[in-house]
Amino acid sequence: MSERNTLIRSLHDVGLAAWFGGSLMGAVGLNGAAKDEGGNDPTGERISSSGWAKWTPVNAAAIGAHLFGGGGLLAVNAHRVAAQQGVAASTTAKTIVTAAALAATAYARVLGKKVELASSTDPQDAEKAQKHPLDLDKARRQLARVQWVVPALTGCLVVLNALHGEQQRPIEQIPGMWGRARSATHLMS
């Protein structure tokens, strides 16, 4: 029924795994270790900011791989999205959650960069931070929240990915396509 798409599926799945796992590890491990070592003072923020800054290019590559693989899977499964009952709905849900995860990831990085500049000991960073003043306590609170939103949303994507896998099983495809065809005939009468 379906052909193999190992490369694009791997890009999709490995990218999502890194995005989810990295964000969860950062929220739990990196932020926890930084707090243990530096408390709420600038030392802890510098440790955390440094770790997140090192993760950013890897995270960007993971997100890019996930999006590229997702686009490829959508292209090769367009017939299922159109013909199989339930697939369009789960694809729409997955697209919305992906957009929300991308927005949360970008917002976390913006907040993280602001906190990084404000807690830096580098005179150039301090100068940049002075040009863009912010309520540092508010930024810290928002960052602490949004860094948990990213693994929550990407975790939802893992679940939706499992649903898509189940929908792709041959035992699901035939009844799903038949159900879609039956519902379409009701529209014609």
Reported as a single tens digit per residue, the pLDDT across 125-165 is 667 767 767 788 898 899 999 999 999 999 999 999 998 88
How many degrees, rounded to 5, is the angle at CA 95 between CA 91 and CA 98? 135
Is pLDDT above 70 for 186?
no
- Tell me how crowded residue 69 is: count the other CB atoms within 10 A of its CB: 21
Q: Residue 1: pLDDT band by 50, 70, 90 thresholds?
A: very low
Q: Residue 14: pLDDT band by 50, 70, 90 thresholds?
A: very high
Whole-number average pLDDT of the chain? 86
Q: Residue 181: pLDDT band by 50, 70, 90 thresholds?
A: low
Smallest CA-to-CA distance from 20 within 149, 106, 110 is with 149
- CA atoms within a 13 Å half-sphere pointing along the CA-CB vector of 32: 8
Of residues 20 and 127, more confidence is placed in: 20
How many Å apart are CA 110 and CA 17, to the nearest integer?
Answer: 23
How many residues appear in the chain?
Answer: 189
- CA atoms within a 13 Å half-sphere pointing along the CA-CB vector of 37: 13
Q: Which two tokens mark 51? A: 């770790």
How many Å apart are CA 27 and CA 49, to the nearest integer?
Answer: 12
Note whether 99 and 150 are within 8 A (CB). no
Instruction: Return the pLDDT at 159.
Output: 96
Q: Break the chain into its structural domains and give their ranges.
A: 6-188
What is the pTM for the complete model shown?
0.82
3-state secondary structure the chain: CCCCCHHHHHHHHHHHHHHHHHHHHHHHHHHHHHHHHHCCCHHHHHHHHHHHHHHHHHHHHHHHHHHHHHHHHHHHCHHHHHHCCCHHHHHHHHHHHHHHHHHHHHHHHHHHHHHHHHHCCCHHHHHHHHHCCCCHHHHHHHHHHHHHHHHHHHHHHHHHHHHHHHHCCHHHHHHHHHHHHHHHHHHHC
